């Protein structure tokens, strides 16, 4: 008759883009395979699924260079291990490697220096350094 308190049926919660039993997408598998080629000492770090992101893997090489791709779920971990033949760790247990954190910090410093150089060049040309 009247809907005083709204619909009593419970609404489904937030669902991930793919089911947790799914595996790695073919385009992601090809990208990861190509990224590993020619790099030394590559390790994989599995990141857990959250409400926002699917389960993913971060590949890190010896220089700290890294890439991240979605793997769908636990089946994706097994697929990555078979596909890439690299050691794979759980990031919640091991954390990210120090070389990756150093690389991120080094890139951030270089980016800041470049921004400062660009602002200085604009200032020396008589332009507004902020814009």
Q: Is residue 15 part of a domain?
A: no
- Give phi and psi for 96, each to the nearest 5: -80, 150
Residue 130 lies in a domain: no
Task: State mean pLDDT over 18-22.
Answer: 57
Structural domain includes residue 2: no
Q: Would you state the structure tokens that stand for residue 80, as one six-digit string?
A: 């990555």
pLDDT for the residue 53: 87
Which of 15-29, 33-47, 52-66, 69-83 comes out lowest in average pLDDT?
Answer: 15-29
Task: Please check the confidence at residue 17 and state whether its pLDDT lies above 70.
Answer: no
The answer to whether position 104 is within a domain reads yes
The verdict on residue 51 lying in a domain is: yes
- State the residue range of the domain holding 49: 26-124
In a domain, 71, yes or no: yes
Total number of domains constituting the chain: 1
How many Cα atoms within 13 Å fall on the side-chain side of residue 67? 14
Average pLDDT score over residue span 103-113: 96
What's the mean pLDDT when you consider all of the chain?
86
């Amino acid at each position: 008759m009247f809907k005083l308190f709204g619909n009593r049926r419970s609404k489904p919660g937030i669902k991930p883009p793919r089911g947790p039993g799914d595996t790695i997408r073919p385009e992601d598998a090809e990208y990861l395979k190509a990224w590993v080629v020619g790099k030394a000492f590559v390790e994989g770090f599995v990141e857990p699924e959250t409400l926002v992101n699917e389960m993913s893997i971060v590949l890190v090489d010896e220089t700290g260079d890294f890439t991240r791709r979605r793997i769908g779920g636990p089946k994706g971990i097994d697929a990555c291990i078979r596909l890439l033949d690299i050691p794979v760790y759980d990031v919640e247990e091991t954390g990210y490697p120090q070389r990756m954190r150093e690389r991120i910090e080094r890139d951030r410093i270089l980016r800041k220096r470049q921004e400062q150089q660009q602002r200085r060049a604009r200032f020396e040309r008589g332009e507004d350094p902020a814009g």
